[in-house]
Each structure stands twice: as C-alpha cells, then as structure tokens.
Chains A and B, each alone.
Chain A
Amino acid sequence: MSLSSTPLSGTIGTKQAQAKSSSLFRQSMRRLMRNKLAVSGLVVVVIMVLACFIGPFFSPYTDNKVHMAMMNKAPSLKHWLGTDALGRDVLTRVLQAGRISLTVGLASMVLSVFIGALLGAIAGYYRGFVDQIIMRIADLLLTIPGLPLLFIFGALLSEWKVPTEYRMYIVMFMLGFVNWPGLARMVRGQMLSLREREFMQAAVVLGLRDRRKLFNHLLPNIVPLLIVIATLNIGGSILSESVLSFFGLGVMPPTPTWGNMIDAANNLIDFQERPWLWIPPGFSIFATVIAINIFGDGLRDVLDPKQKR
C-alpha cells in the first residue's frame, strides 16, 4: 500500500488515525468481509502461513537431519505424516517447504508487480516513443510461453552449476521476470484511460508537476487493481515454482519445496506404496493455490467491479 500514501496528507495535516487508508478502501473491506467464500479462502491462507512459519519451531525434528534407522516409516504418533527415504520427518519438511514456496511466491509477486506497475505506468503516462519501446519488449516476452521459458532458464542454471543455495533466489527473479509483461499491459491500459479523465485535465490547469500527477493522482487509482492482480499472482507463482522444482529445474534438494517433494511420486514404488510422501505436499499446493485464488476473486469483486466475469 505504500503506493497510495500521499506525501501531502501529512503536511496538510490529516489528523485522523487512519490517514493513509481511504474510507473508500475501508468500505470495500467491509464488503469483502461479508463474502463468506473469500473470507474462508483468507482463513486457509492465514492458517497455512502461520503453520509454515511458526509450526517448525514446535517440531522435535529438523528438516535435513538424516536418520537411517527411521527410513520410509508410515504415519504414526511419532511421525504424523511418516518419514521419507532418508528418515526425515515429512510433516516438518512439508512445513519447511511451505516457507520456501510461499516466500518464493510472495517475492516473485513483489518483483513482478514492481517492474510491471512501474513500466506500465511510465508507458501509459508518457506514451509515444517510451511506450513503444517498453511495450514491444513486453510483447516479445509475451510471445514466448512462460513455462518453456522457465524450463530453459532452469536448464541453463543446472548447466552452469549454480550453487543450490542461490537457486532459490534466482528462481524468484525468474518468476518475477516472466510475469511482469502481462501486468505492465493492464497497468498501461488503466493509465491510458485515467489520464484522459477530467480530474487529470484539472491537474494540468493547476500546473502540477508530472511526479505529483503520476504518484498522487494516477497510481492511487490503480492500487485496487494492483492488489487484485498481486494476490492472484502469488497463486500462479507458487504453482510455477512447484512445477519447476518438480522437474528438478527450480529449487534443488536438500532445500525442501512442495514441488520437489512431490518428485517422490516419480518413483513407482513410492507412488504406490508410500502415499504419505507425495500427498501432503500435493495437498498443500492445492489448498494454498485454491484458497489464494478464491480470496483474490473476492477481492476483485469488491475492489474492481468492472472486471467481474
């Protein structure tokens, strides 16, 4: 929400407690809270995040401690979701993996929203030559399907033998890089329509600087759209990361992610005999992504009613 902060509201002295959040925004939030489905989505996401980030502290096991005596044990009271081929507790690993997957999803979203919003806003506001350059680059990236592009990047990383501990960060950048063009297009479209509105003509007549027009008048008007896209974007990013890691092109073991944990299903014996290895991470991806999408849809309905399908 930092985009919506108006530097001026401080100087003119809005003395209200919640000076930063508009009452329009508060109204929308109240409407969102009445949408049962969206709220349940939010609850699932919050539970997932809390479990992943707090849960492992209560676990007696560490995620990477190999314990040969406890190989491939079925779920029991000691190991609620069983153990894997190296005797590691699956529940602990699923939660640890959730940390990585959620962080990668969030970070790549922030990156793509930042790049996309900035470039889209510049293209839409200045138009002409700048617009042409930015949008042609975006078009170029959009013509290449995202997943194959990510596969190529992933394969290159493996080829160059990038250390596994850096791969997580590189994957974040890859996902953010693949996602920004679509976002830039939407922001640009919004900008093009906003800049023709009468209040922007008023800004011209007042002789306001470009910076103020862009950051105080135009960007606050696209924040609702950005929130919606960003939310839905996280789900997509988590999914892409899982796909990459499943194929061994994303984050590498021993760092656990939901994607590389499902890799267990590639092994026929594990697939048939030891479902506790791949069902928990698979279910985690499923539940998280669905919950995020349901919540995002609800958000869109209240913040951006024009986009309703």
Chain B
Amino acid sequence: MPEGLLEVNHLKKYFPIQKGLLNRTVGHVKAVDDISLSIQKGETFGLVGESGSGKSTVGKTIIRLTEKTEGEVKFKGVDLYSLSPQELRKIRPSMQLIFQDPYSSLNPRVRVGDAIGEALVDHGLVPKEEIRDRVLDVLQSCGLSSYHIDRFPHEFSGGQRQRIGIARALILNPDLIIADEPVSALDVSIQAQIINLFRKLQETRELTYLFISHDLSVVEHLCTRIGVMYLGSMMETASRDELFKNPLHPYTKALLSAVPIPIPKLKRERIVLKGDIPSPSNPPSGCKFHTRCPFGSPLQGRGSGVP
C-alpha cells in the first residue's frame, strides 16, 4: 500500500494514575495501546468501539490535543511529534477536528462569524477584506444563512451549532478532518442531515475523514474502511463491505449483532457478551477480549499476540 495521508504507527497513550501525598505514579490507564492505522487520501476511515475503548483519545492524540506516550503519527509524511510549536501551528489548518458536543465547543461570547473567520485572520491566510466573503461562502456550503453571521451561539439549535463547528473547520481548507462522534449529541433526524452534509462536502472538497463513532449504522453509511477498537487496541480493520459481510473477530461479530434492525418480526441470533469491559489500567493479558469472548478458551490469555 502506498504511504497514506495519515500514518499512525504503534501509537500509545497512557494516562498516569497518581496517588498519595507525593503524587507518585502507581499505574497507568492504557487508553490507547499500540494502535496502527493508515488513511489514504479521499477515503473515510471509521473508528468504532464501545464507550471507553479509546476512540476519542486516538483522535485527540493524532491531532496533538493530548501528547502521545509512544509511537509515531505521520501526516503527509511529516512526523507531527517532531515539529516545533511554530511549525505545528503552521500545519494545524490542514488537519481539523470536529467536536462531539456542539454546545461546549463554541465560545458563548464569540459571534459565529468571528468564530469561523478568526483562524483565517490569525494565520493570515486571506486578506482581511475577503474574510467576510469567505465566511459567508462556507456558511452557505454548510447549510446556514448569511444573516447568521452576526449571531451568538446560544441563538442556534444543536444541529445548527454542529454546522457552525463544521464550517469553522472547513474554512481552513483542511486535507484531513477528524470527526469525534459529531452526531451522537444530535437527535436522529438531525443526524441524517449532518451525515449527508459530511458526504456532500467530501464529494465537493475531496476531504479525507477519520470518523469516530459508536453507531455502526452511521459508519456503514459513510465510511469506506472501518477499524474496531476494544479497550485501547484495534481488534479488526477491514473495508466496510468486508467487515459487515464477513466479520472475523468475535468482538466485531458481537458488535454487529447488537445493531438494531428495523424489522420487528425478524429473529436473529444475538451474541450477548457477559460481564463488563475490563479496567484499562489493568487490561487482560494476551488478547484483551479473551475474558468476554464467547468462543475463547482461557488459553488465549497466555499469549501476547492478536488472535
């Protein structure tokens, strides 16, 4: 495979657990434990997994919102973690993050037009006279109206706010957009609108997405390739069709069998997992899934490889 737009190699992110008077580190929460992925230009990579599996941390570590513990993140062939703060600031516009919560990710005291346009001003990408036009432009392509430009975030609904968040990322003409559960805070009818907006924008602007979600039906609709995460590790990576037709890992099978289908009479076999997700500060040895695996034998805990 040729080198992708984004290459993540053996990325690890451990959060230290500190205890006692001296804040001694007594252990680590292994939020991301040895993740590798590669995203080609123009594709949409879906990252799925249950709550606490480390999906969001992967996104935030890639974009350097949190610092990695180990591993390598290469964007357009440049190792992001080798950059100086100034170099990083320069490269930031070309990779953007869309946040999960459209309420808290907009500053309540900054006008929408300013929120969208300020990065252009700050990076000096566009002459000042053109900025208003650019903002109006991007507002329109995100399905908002020009009179919204002077309003404050509290005057908008959740769906509209998410559109503002998308517009704010889009105006910088990024190559990569990391969407961190962008629709999970919205109701279903609005989810569909936002997902269609994502699709439309990808067609018109040749965007590459890393789409983080726990909703498999959303991912199936939008993504070309999908990675399944469990407890900080990648269980399975496959193309969309492959994954949905022929899931190989038992965790993926269990996940897929839990997707609701809109045919009430249809009975199908549900794989119900027993127990809770183990603590990421003390993950099971070997295959991390072996404690809950319906097919597994205790022996699988002995090795250290992926199944």
Nearest Cβ on chain B to A86's Cβ, whole angstroms = 54
B interface list, Cβ under 8 A from A: 63, 65, 88-90, 92-93, 96-97, 99, 101, 104-111, 113-114, 117-119, 121-123, 128, 131-132, 135, 149-150, 152, 154-155, 165, 168, 172
**What separation, in Å, do the CA atoms of A4 and B107 have in the docked complex?**
13
Contacts A8-B121, A12-B135, A15-B150; A202 near B114 (Cβ below 8 A): no
Q: What are 11 A-B interface contacts by the 8 Å CB criterion?
A: A11-B132, A12-B117, A22-B109, A23-B155, A198-B99, A202-B97, A202-B165, A208-B119, A216-B110, A217-B107, A220-B109
| Cβ–Cβ < 8 Å partners of A14 in chain B | 111, 113, 150
In the complex, per-residue mask of A183-221: 1 if CB is within 8 Å of any chain B CB, else 0 = 000000000000001110110111111001000110011
- A207→B122 contact, CB < 8 A: yes
Chain A 13-25 interface 0/1 with B at a Cβ cutoff of 8 Å (1 = within): 1111001001110
- Contact in complex: B132, A212 (CB < 8 Å): no
- Expressed in whole angstroms, the minimum distance between the Cβ of A53 and any Cβ of chain B is 33
| B110/A6 in contact, CB under 8 A | yes
Q: B104: nearest residue on chain A (CB-CB)? A: A198
A217 touching B65, Cβ below 8 Å: no
Query: A59 within 8 Å of B by Cβ?
Result: no
Bound complex: CA A208 to CA B152 (Å): 20
Interface residues on A, range: 20 to 34
Residue of B nearest to A7 (CB): B121
Complex CA distance for A6 and B40, rounded to whole angstroms = 40
Known pairs A206-B168, A207-B123; A8 contacts B118 (CB<8 A)? yes
Q: Give which listed residue, A199, A205, A208, A220, contacts B63 with CB less than 8 A.
A: A205
- How far apart are B169's CB and chain A's nearest CB, in angstroms? 8
Question: Given B89, B105, B132, which contacts A198 in the complex, CB threshold below 8 Å?
Answer: B105
A11, B152: Cβ atoms under 8 Å? Answer: no
- A205, B165: Cα distance in complex, Å: 12
A8 to B121, CA, bound (A): 8
Residues of chain A within 8 A (CB-CB) of B132 are 11-13
Interface centre among A13, A198, A199, A221 (most CB of B within 10 A): A199
- Please tell me if the beta carbons of B93 and A207 are within 8 angstroms of each other in the complex: yes
Which A residue sits closest to B116, measured CB to CB?
A: A12
| Residue in B88, B104, B106, B131 whose beta carbon sits within 8 Å of that of A12 in the complex | B131
Whether A9 is near chain B, meaning CB under 8 Å from some CB there, is: yes
**Residues on B with beta carbons closer than 8 Å to the beta carbon of A198:** 99, 101, 104-105
Residues of B within 8 Å of A15, CB to CB, are 150
Q: Which residues of A contact B88 (CB under 8 A)?
A: 207
Q: Which residue of B lies closest to A25 (CB)?
A: B109
Given contacts A9-B113, A209-B89, list 15 more A-B pairs with CB under 8 A. A9-B114, A12-B113, A12-B132, A12-B149, A22-B109, A24-B109, A198-B105, A199-B105, A201-B105, A202-B168, A205-B96, A207-B123, A208-B119, A220-B110, A221-B108
Bound CA–CA A23/B155 (angstroms): 10
Q: A199–B106 contact, CB under 8 A?
A: yes
> Given the interface contacts A8-B117, A207-B123, A216-B118, does A199 sit within 8 Å of B104 by beta carbon?
yes
Contacts of B122 in A (CB 8 A): 206-209, 212
Taking a contact as CB atoms closer than 8 A, the residue among A4, A13, A16, A19 that contacts B109 in the complex is A4
The residues of A that contact B108 with a CB separation of less than 8 Å are 24, 221
